[in-house]
Copies of this chain bind each other. A is one copy, B any other.
Amino acid sequence: MANRHADTIADELEDMILDGRFANNDRLDEVQLAQRFSVSRTPIREALQRLTQAGLVEQIPRRGAFVRQPGAIELIEMFEVMAELEAASARFAAMRMTDAALGDLNDANEKCMKAMQDQDADSYYRENERFHHIIYAQSGNSFLEAEAKRLHRRLKPFRRLQLRLRGRLRQSMSEHESILEALANGDPEMAAQVTRQHVAVQGEKFHHLIATLKIAAE
């Protein structure tokens, strides 16, 4: 990609923002960050530019850079788009997927299941991510794969939240089964539909969660 220093700084800042280590609208002071990373302002500014492009930071001219956590509405919109990208991936994958990849997908799903039974959250997240990434890759469309990965990563912290809802995990696994079945049958429309539903419901659950939190806060 680009220059090493600014690159790694951007990655670190991205992680920090996505992990929620900054509050919304926190100002990212250039000199402070420069000191923290022991570099000059130049690579910091490059990193901030990158984050701005990625939508994680908003830069206001002559005012500075502010972390920009998406609001509830924007998150729902993003989940909606994610559902469409996943549905499209699944549709293509149903037609283009290799047998070997189908085996991998099955493997990821079984490990997901096992992780759920073992209450092993880390393992669950890892295998669930693998499950979805395999579908993106098997769309046979690298551009789609890249876009899907990008948005998937952006939504990661919020997916975790939503999975805490009672019964959601088990339901999610059953949806995986339907996806697997549709892909195994090579049924593009079915694959697209169940996959869209699988992701869209995450957005809805998330919405529900937000609403609940709001009520609880009153």
A residues adjacent to B (C-beta < 8 A): 1-4, 45-46, 49-50, 52-54, 59, 61-62, 74, 77-78, 80-81, 84-85, 87-88, 92, 141-144, 147
Contact = CB atoms under 8 A, between A and B. Distances in A.
15 contacts: A1-B61, A2-B52, A2-B61, A3-B61, A3-B62, A45-B46, A46-B49, A53-B53, A74-B143, A77-B144, A78-B143, A81-B88, A81-B141, A81-B144, A84-B144
Contact of A77 (B49, B50, B61, B142): B142
Nearest to A46: B49
Query: What does DSSP make chain A's interface, helix, strand, loop or mixed?
Result: helix
B2 A49 contact: yes
- Would you list the 6 A-B pairs with minimal beta carbon distance, nearest first? A77-B143, A53-B53, A84-B88, A2-B59, A77-B141, A81-B144
Given A3-B62, A46-B46, 4 more contacts: A1-B52, A1-B61, A2-B59, A77-B142
Contacts of A54: 53
A197 to B, nearest CB: 14
